[in-house]
Amino acid sequence: MNALQDLLDRIERRRAVVGIAGLGYVGLPLALRFAEEGFRVIGFDIDPDKVERLNRGESYIEHISSEAVARAVGAGLQATTDFSQAAEADALILCVPTPLDRYRNPDLSFVLDTMDALLPHMHAGQLVSLESTTWPGTTEEKLKPRIEARGLKVGEDVFLVYSPEREDPGNPKFTTRNIPKVCGGVTEACLKAGVALYGQVVDEVVPVSSTQAAELTKLLENIHRAVNIGLVNEMKIVADRMGIDILEVIRAAATKPFGFTPYWPGPGLGGHCIPIDPFYLTWKAREYGVHTRFIELAGEINSSMPDYVVNKVILALNGVEKPVKGSHILVLGIAYKKNVDDMRESPSVELMLKLSQLGAEIAYSDPHIPVFPKIRKCHFDLSSVELTPETLAAYDCVLLATDHDRFDYDMIGRHARLIVDTRGRFPAGGKVVRA
């Protein structure tokens, strides 16, 4: 039996061992899904705390329950920092971050370091899948040569695919199982192996003609959102100058049953995809002599939103004869989106930084994040403030940055002295300033 047929047989019989490198918001749900379907799963991570907690059956991601982790551990999920165990895996799936460096260029160090850690333990008959968002060509230009330098022929000995992650943390409507999975292979044999593997745990696998097509698919999905959010953020500024409620306009436009999709303005972009992914394409496009002006303009608009909000705070405080310096400001919500504990690229952090640099005394309240975590951008030695009528009244300004459903908006509206609202949860006017 050749390497491909043997691998397909092991997958179909669910005897294949699945290794997942990176046990964060993408890798952990995928690991649980494979374990749920009866696969033995080895989870690799460089964070020993994550590994220990998983092996105890504990979750460190709010929307994933410890019960679900414990069930997966009972079904055979094992987490480890020992990458030599990759030798036991039939499939190796990379779910590691792809951030930007300080020059806003793609940083593939996590992908390449992970691949280099796995390579000494790879052997014929394995499938390798990259899920991390990246520029078109990464899989074939960066991973394929590394694998073949080990003497393993891609498409014959080892099967290499790109299958972009699609996660919407905190949205119970969409799960790893029911979100269609795009997959592109270096060769037809690679694609066949990738489709077979993901077909065991995902309701619909969408094959495409190449890894490059799959890589660009992921970028298009998120650039589509980034551009439309940039448009509506610019419309927000125009409407504000005209004295028009942009939220009323969006709701009215959304009644059109064709040709319009509503997007909502906010204080800036957050999360691991939308603020970052467009720059992966603009960087790669320069290699082909293409200047992606439309995408970059949307990025400029979205990146300017925290400054727009800070200016609104300054004007709101001026309106009650208070300087921003020395004012006590309570930021509501520091996660990048509502109802999650994910702070990656959160615009709330940018707002806190900018206001503190102007001399404001900053505090925050977030029911999903009890203590401000250590993140690369900065660190505030703060814990979440409990919202009561007394605490709300003690602040000069309350800045609604992330509109979690667990906030008591009626209480906030009654007792806050001044509200700057970036999410449209309060009627404009009086002590409420829209930003």
User: Which are the catalytic amino acids?
Assistant: 273
Pure H helices in 159-210 = 188-199
> C-alpha angle with apex 279: 274 to 280, nearest 5 degrees?
100
Place of tokens 């749900």: 29
What does the radius of gyration of the chain's CA atoms come to, in whole angstroms? 24
| Residues 149, 164 contacting (CB under 8 angstroms) | no
**DSSP string spanning 8-32?**
HHHHHTT--EEEEE--STTHHHHHH
d(CA 408, CA 367): 11
d(CA 162, CA 131): 6
Question: Exposed (0-12), middle (13-18) or buried (19+): which is 206, by Cβ within 10 Å?
Answer: middle
**DSSP string spanning 359-387?**
T-EEEEE-TT-SBPPP-SS-----BPPPP
d(CA 413, CA 424): 12
Beta pairing partners, 20 = 43, 93
Beta pairing partners, 332 = 365, 400
d(CA 90, CA 138): 22
- Would you tell me how many other CB atoms lie within 10 Å of the CB of residue 318? 11
* Pairing outcome for strands 205-208 and 181-185: parallel
| Residues 278, 299 contacting (CB under 8 angstroms) | yes
Q: Could you list the beta-strand ranges (E) of 63-153.
A: 78-80, 91-94, 127-130
d(CA 214, CA 131): 10
Per-residue H/E/C for 46-64: CCHHHHHHHHCCCCCCCCC
d(CA 253, CA 261): 9
d(CA 125, CA 215): 24
Q: What separation in angstroms does the CA of 412 have from each of 247, 267, 408, 420?
A: 20, 19, 6, 12
